């Protein structure tokens, strides 16, 4: 969980403080799938105060497990997402446009997960070279070959191809 101890802002003379955090984030649901982080997420944040408002700016980066749209295998996607959030220390003020917090610690976990979701690609592909699944037998073509490919070429055509190759040896 990402929690910022903003109490410290009252104790130091400057109006901002830098947080460098490495934290485990909880898994979450997106479009009916549970996504999780295989390793701790790095957060570099500058936290400043503007009157009663706390401004959190920076970025988070790390790895998240996605399912490849082509081969349907899980893979680690490296993300880097910008973070910019404002929190108002007015728990009972419903008119505030900012998320409110109480006490001296702000839990920014759910806001940061939303920022990470925004940084995810529309299509998840494990790699440019991913060959996907065979449309006929469903075999993962990254892991091995199947015999379906040969069926695509009409046997009569393959004879013709051999003939053309013989006629044009340079091709």
Among 137, 156, 168, 169, binds Zn ion (CB under 5 A): 137
Give bridge partners of residue 84 from the DSSP assignment: 57
Candidates 17-25, 84-92, 109-117, 136-144 — which segment interacts with Zn ion by CB under 5 A?
Answer: 136-144
Q: What value does the CA radius of gyration of the chain take, rounded to a whole number of Å?
A: 26
Q: How many binding residues for Zn ion (CB under 5 A)?
A: 11
Q: Distances in Å between the alpha carbon of 24 and those of 4, 39, 64, 141?
A: 14, 7, 11, 34
Q: How far is the CB of 74 from Zn ion (least distance, A)?
A: 10
Q: Apex CA 169: angle with CA 167 and CA 171, to 5°?
A: 105
Q: How far is the CB of 132 from Zn ion (least distance, A)?
A: 6
Among 21, 70, 76, 117, binds Zn ion (CB under 5 A): 70
CA 78 to the chain's CA centroid: 7
Q: In whole angstroms, what is the distance from residue 119 CA to residue 78 CA?
A: 10
DSSP, res 166: H
Q: Is 145 in the site for Zn ion (CB under 5 A)?
A: no
Beta carbons of 65 and 38 less than 8 angstroms apart: yes
Q: How far is the CB of 126 from Zn ion (least distance, A)?
A: 3
Q: How far is the CB of 37 from Zn ion (least distance, A)?
A: 20
Q: Is 141 in the site for Zn ion (CB under 5 A)?
A: no
Decide whether 49 or 63 has the Cβ nearer to Zn ion: 63
Decide whether 49 or 70 has the Cβ nearer to Zn ion: 70
Name which of residues 102 to 121 contact Zn ion (CB under 5 A): none
Structure tokens at 122: 């529309």
Among 64, 71, 81, 113, binds Zn ion (CB under 5 A): 71
Beta carbons of 43 and 2 less than 8 angstroms apart: yes
Give bridge partners of residue 54 from the DSSP assignment: 49, 87
**Binding positions for Zn ion, rule: CB under 5 A:** 68, 70-71, 126, 130, 134, 136-137, 139, 146, 148
């Amino acid at each position: 969980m990402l929690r910022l101890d903003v109490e410290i802002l009252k104790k130091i003379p400057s109006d901002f403080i830098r947080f460098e955090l490495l934290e485990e984030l909880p898994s979450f649901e997106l479009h009916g799938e549970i996504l999780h982080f295989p390793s701790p997420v790095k957060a570099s944040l500058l936290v400043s105060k503007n009157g009663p408002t706390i401004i959190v700016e920076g970025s988070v980066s790390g790895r998240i497990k996605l399912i490849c749209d082509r081969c349907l295998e899980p893979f680690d996607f490296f993300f880097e997402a910008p973070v910019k959030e404002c929190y108002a220390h007015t728990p009972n003020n419903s008119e505030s446009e900012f998320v409110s917090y109480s006490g001296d610690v702000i839990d920014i976990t759910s806001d940061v997960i939303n920022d990470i979701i925004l940084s995810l690609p529309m299509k998840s592909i494990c790699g440019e070279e991913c060959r996907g699944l065979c449309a006929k037998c469903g075999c993962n073509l990254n892991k091995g070959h199947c015999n379906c490919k040969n069926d695509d070429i009409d046997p009569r055509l393959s004879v013709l191809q051999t003939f053309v190759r013989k006629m044009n040896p340079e091709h």
